[in-house]
Amino acid sequence: MPENPMDGWKGLRDIRVLDLSRLLPGGFATVLMADLGADVIKIEDPGSGDYGRLVDPDAFAALNRNKRSVVLDLRDPDGRETLLRLVERCDAVVESYRPGVLEGMGLGFERLRAANPRVVLCSISGFGQSGPYASRPGHDLNFLALSGFFAVPHRTEGAVDRVGVRVADLAGAMYAAFTTSVAVAAAGATGQGQHLDVSLHEAAAAWCGPLALPLLERADPVDSPLVTGDNDVFVVADGRRIAFATFEDKFWLTFRRAFAEEFPALADEAYDRRADRTRAKREVRALLTDVFAQRDLAWWTASLSALDLPWAPVYESADEVLDDAHVQDRQLVGTLPASATERSRRQVRFPVLFGAGLDSLRGAAPGHGEHTAEVLAELDG
């Protein structure tokens, strides 16, 4: 295993993972483990490798930092035999083929377990390894559509729309990384690995469930007490947007009293209690829509910044995120070093600060097959 600069604590340094996945869900799951010190060996085919390299090089670089790349042709018996030799020395295998594909190559869980009884196989798929949708193709938007994501309203009118972030893919990836780490720890204690069946659809449903299922008791989902007129995004006079969330009474009172002279409509005390604002959610949203539309973002920023209120400008470009003083102070975005095959790139670090330290931006994404000779030589070591 290569040297890993995580002085003072192990993290996941003692774990070796074979990453057979492609694109976002598997890549994000394994980069989380790689950031925390795991030796993640990315297995790629001899052609162009992970087609994420061609689709979006920047995303590929973010999803594959701190990994090693090995080229193996799993359609060839020699390639499969080499993979099984690697399995003997690894703790986990992460794959994202459709159900049955790995088994069809002679590399299903029973075959992997014969090579290494302690191995954990994490299979990430759209709908899981069983059930009527198991063989169905899909992408993030399809999983969200069936998960309850669009059943949870976020404002008083209008259909729930999608977001740009791939929520189902990332939710499933986080469950995959977490459960793989847990299962590897359990295998260390029992000597027995297991097969993890991670469904992206079910991961999204798990995130939506606490908000979606209580709506079964309501004729109109908008009647949910979590949908309020004073917790939304509002357009200001210059077309920019601000996020405003005075869920608690103390924040509403502070806002109303501070601006009642400037905007007489806020002088009304009718909405000072949470229950009253919730009952009149449509009226409250209309009130705030009108108030915010009367001044531009600069005015609201200057006026609201002096108050202890839960509000924020809506950043609509990466530049705005990077320029944020808090992002800079926390060093949330850093520079991944260049390598022989990769230029330096700005990336978001692992989003937890460990007291013992963690340098998650330590190694660039590998070139296609960059570590093949190195890793295969370790088999004979």
Backbone phi, psi, residue 135, to 5°: -95, 5
Q: What is the C-alpha to C-alpha distance for residues 169 and 29, in angstroms, rounded to an integer?
A: 10
* Burial class of residue 202, CB neighbours in 10 A (0-12, 13-18, 19+): buried
User: Which residues, 6+ apart, have CB-to-CB distance to 91 below 8 Å?
Assistant: 15, 16, 17, 118, 119, 120, 184, 187
Catalytic residue among 91, 169, 230, 232: 169
Q: Is 169 a catalytic residue?
A: yes
User: Which residues, 6+ apart, have CB-to-CB distance to 363 below 8 Å?
Assistant: 65, 66, 67, 336, 337, 339
Distance of CA 216 to the CA centre of its chain: 28
Whether 155 and 230 have beta carbons less than 8 Å apart is answered as no
Residues pairing with 84 in the sheet: none
Burial of 54-68, coded b for 16+ CB within 10 Å and e otherwise, reads eeeeeebbbbbbbbb
DSSP string spanning 62-120? HHSTTEEEEE--TTSHHHHHHHHHHHTT-SEEEE-SPTTHHHHTT-SHHHHHHH-TT-E
* Residues designated catalytic: 169
